């Protein structure tokens, strides 16, 4: 059975041994024995000298490492740096900067930044459709006007000051049981119009659910699909169980991480930061070891190359 460290200190000590890292990751991926990621065969042997597995079936890429088929694939960074990095990012309440990860793991800041985005990819999960009582709200994420040059501020900030920012919808499924904390989903929107918000809600919330929103007019179109209750913030913020305090608390945590730790996030990369904070919020009632294990379980079947990360044309593998 896999040994899972219970604290950062234990993780650093245990994963300092590359053999421990290899055995841990192999055990997580293949609890019933190694499986060829190319053909699915269980007839696999371990080549101890090469530290690789080999499939007995004859096909291309018969030999493979434990990294193949995961977010770690094609990385020259050893597992004794990857696994502590997973621990750091999965358990930092307000996030952790690439500069801090670079100092801790003795890699370059560029390498740490790339590693962290791969780990965020492993954090992304499909929570399915929400049901029961669901809070819905939207926010805008982007550069702070106070940090803009006066000329640029006059050019881009109009009205509510949302031009140049990204619209994000948040949905929070409430739970009253201690062992079932509320969960969040987020998604980026093209805008907050009547043509955008209702389809986004219907995609993620079961029909017939109790939907609680603020008084934004695009939500009016959802009255036939849901038991829709509205809290008008011009009049009050709470009316019994009718409020959006839960999702607004999530926005506060998200923006604290972005402004306080990451300082600035490009719109192109924003979905990965949303995945990170959503994962951390949904796993807040578990302990550090469980959060770490959940992220490691999500590394398989996902791939992120550097060209994809920076939005460049991909090159053949």
- How much is the average pLDDT of 189-208? 95
What pLDDT, in 10s, does the model give residues 22-40?
999 999 999 999 999 999 9
Confidence of residue 162 (pLDDT cuts 50, 70, 90): low
Q: Where are the domains of the chain?
A: 8-125+294-310, 133-265
Evaluate whether 78 touches 66 at the Cβ level (below 8 Å).
Answer: no
Q: Which residue did the predictor score with more confidence, 48 or 121?
A: 121
Confidence of residue 126 (pLDDT cuts 50, 70, 90): confident
* Token couple for 178: 């201690």
> Of 105-109, 249-253, 292-296, 313-317, where does mean pLDDT reach its minimum?
313-317
What pLDDT, in 10s, does the model give residues 77-117?
999 999 999 999 999 988 999 999 999 999 999 999 999 99
- State how far Cα 47 lies from the chain centre: 35
Evaluate whether 114 touches 287 at the Cβ level (below 8 Å).
Answer: no
How far is it, in rounded angstroms, from Cα 86 to Cα 102? 13
What pLDDT, in 10s, does the model give residues 38-81?
999 999 999 988 889 999 999 988 999 999 999 999 999 999 99
Q: Percent of the chain scored above 70 by pLDDT?
A: 90
Concatenate the DSSP letters of all residues of 151-190 into one string: HHHHHH--TTT-TTSEEEEEEEE---STTS--EEEEEEES
Evaluate whether 288 touches 7 at the Cβ level (below 8 Å).
Answer: yes
Average pLDDT, the chain: 88
* Token couple for 164: 């140049």
Q: Which residue did the predictor score with more confidence, 153 or 303?
A: 303
Pick the CATH number of 133-265 from 3.90.79, 2.40.50, 1.10.10, 3.30.420: 3.30.420
Give the pLDDT of residue 312: 78
SS3 141: strand
Evaluate whether 215 touches 231 at the Cβ level (below 8 Å).
Answer: yes
């Amino acid at each position: 059975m896999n040994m899972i460290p219970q604290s950062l200190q234990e993780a650093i000590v245990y994963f300092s041994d590359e053999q421990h890292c290899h055995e841990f990751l192999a055990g997580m991926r293949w609890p019933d024995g190694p499986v060829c990621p190319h053909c699915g065969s269980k007839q696999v042997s371990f080549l101890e000298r090469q530290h690789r597995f080999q499939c007995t079936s004859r096909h291309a890429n018969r030999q493979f490492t434990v990294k193949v088929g995961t977010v770690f694939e094609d990385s020259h960074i050893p597992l004794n740096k990857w696994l502590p990095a997973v621990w750091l990012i999965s358990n930092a309440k307000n996030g952790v900067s690439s500069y801090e990860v670079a100092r801790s793991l003795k890699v370059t800041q560029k390498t740490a930044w790339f590693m962290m985005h791969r780990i965020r990819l492993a954090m992304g999960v499909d929570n399915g459709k929400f049901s029961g009582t669901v809070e819905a709200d939207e926010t805008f994420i982007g550069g702070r006007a106070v940090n803009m040059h006066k000329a640029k501020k006059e050019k881009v900030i109009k009205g509510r000051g949302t031009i140049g920012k990204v619209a994000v919808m948040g949905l929070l499924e409430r739970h009253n049981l201690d062992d079932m904390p509320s969960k969040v989903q987020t998604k980026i929107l093209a805008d907050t119009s009547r043509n955008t918000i209702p389809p986004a809600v219907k995609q993620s919330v079961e029909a017939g659910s109790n939907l609680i929103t603020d008084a934004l007019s695009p939500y009016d179109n959802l009255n036939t699909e849901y038991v829709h209750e509205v809290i008008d913030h011009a009049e009050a913020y709470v009316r019994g169980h009718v409020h959006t305090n839960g999702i607004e608390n999530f926005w506060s945590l998200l923006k604290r991480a972005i402004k306080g730790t990451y300082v600035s996030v490009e719109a192109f990369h924003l979905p990965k930061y949303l995945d990170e904070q959503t994962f951390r919020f949904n796993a807040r009632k578990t302990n550090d070891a469980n959060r770490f294990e959940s992220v490691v379980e999500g590394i398989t079947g996902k791939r992120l190359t550097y060209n994809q990360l920076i939005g460049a044309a991909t090159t053949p593998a």
